[in-house]
Amino acid sequence: MATTEEWRRQYAKYKEDVKKRGKSFYPYAMFEDTVMSLVVVSVIIGLAAVWYFTSGADPKTCGSGDSCLLGPRYSDPADPATTNFVPRPDWYFYFLFYLLRIFKWPDSVILGTVGIPTILLIIAFLIPFIDRRMERRLTRRPVAVIGAILVVLSMGVLTYKGATAKEALASEVVQAVPTWAQRQGFANNAEAIAGAKIFASSGCTACHTYLGTGSSNQGAPDLSAEGTKGRNKQFFMQYIRDPSKFGNNVMPKFGFNDQQLSQLAAFLLASKGPK
């Protein structure tokens, strides 16, 4: 660790060196800056062109007629009532998004949503005060190099995992409803079966798991044996209507009507765990 005096001396020498043998910003450095900026603008234009010309104007044609190299132009209009949509953030939040699969709701979700990002940010802020050696050559900074490699690797892996996290498609999940009914023993309960179909087709399995189907995207609990917890139908209806009233600020409010709520509640009540 260098003393303040050493730092000052070194910086004074830096200024003297630059004055003596430095080059003028214009045109030398500015030339390189300009070339790089032109490259950046070209890349942005290129991405925009590839995105536009490989996607159709109709979001639904993406995947059939068009190659859609960079995704559709937009998805369907926002609709708070239909919930068979798997939430996905923009790619640079994938690492956060995946952290939420590691830290399960509700006990430790706070670590994933707030804890780790805050800690990372604080560490980033403090780097100049943690590393106070004068040494700048990488060969003499093993801790910094290993730290950098670990950060890049973990961010890369988390981003990749977040990007490729499998979400069950609603149409696939619905196929599983008869099996659920049989295994849970509610095959004769029409209301529960209707609720199971809503559950399967509304994207609930984007966050919840049920008899092995679905993914714990936001770390939401498994619901296979939800009916064994001594809750009544009324509780389930009210809970799904507005989870935040029960202290659950992660699960969104969905626009189900009373009949749907009742069916969902019947389904959950009939879920006694696999036989």
Partner 1 sequence: MATATRNKKSARRRQLEAAINYPIDWLEERSGLVGAVRYFLFRKVPGDTGWWHTLGSATLTAFLVQAVTGVILAMYYKPDPQNAYQSIQHITNDLTLGWLVRGMHKWGASVFIILMFFHMARVFLFGAYKYPRELNWIIGVTLLAVGMLEGFTGYLLPWDQTAYWATVVGINLNGTAPFLGPFLADFLRGGAEIGNETLSRFYSLHMLLIPGLIFALIGLHLYLVIRLGVSSPPWSREAAGSDYGADEPGINGRSGLTQPVARSGWRRNGGDDA
Site for partner 1 in 8-47 (CB under 8 A): 10-11, 13-15, 17-26, 28-30, 32-33, 35-37, 39-41, 43-45, 47
Site for partner 1 in 97-136 (CB under 8 A): 100, 109-110, 113-114, 121, 124-125, 127-129, 131-132, 134-136
Site for partner 1 in 217-246 (CB under 8 A): 218, 244
C-beta of 11 vs 160, nearer to partner 1: 11
Rounded alpha-carbon distances, angstroms, from residue 194 to 191, 213, 221, 259, 262: 5, 18, 22, 10, 10
Binding status of residue 91 toward partner 1 by CB under 8 A:
yes
Can you tell me which of 1, 64, 107, 137 binds partner 1, judged by CB under 8 A?
A: 137
C-beta of 100 vs 181, nearer to partner 1: 100
C-beta of 47 vs 190, nearer to partner 1: 47
C-beta of 73 vs 233, nearer to partner 1: 73
Rounded alpha-carbon distances, angstroms, from residue 90 to 77, 203, 243: 17, 19, 25
| Cβ within 8 Å of residue 209, ≥6 positions away | 215, 216, 222, 223, 224
Can you tell me which of 54, 66, 68, 86 binds partner 1, judged by CB under 8 A?
A: 86
3-state secondary structure of 95: helix
Cα–Cα distance between 250 and 80 in angstroms, integer? 16
Residue 169: Cβ-neighbour burial (10 angstroms; 0-12, 13-18, 19+):
middle
User: The tokens of 218 are what?
Assistant: 């936001």
C-beta of 129 vs 229, nearer to partner 1: 129
Site for partner 1 in 190-219 (CB under 8 A): 218
Can you tell me which of 68, 102, 116, 144 binds partner 1, judged by CB under 8 A?
A: 144
Cα three-residue angle 140-146-147, rounded to 5 degrees = 110
**To the nearest whole angstrom, how small is the minimum distance from the Cβ of residue 239 to partner 1?**
15
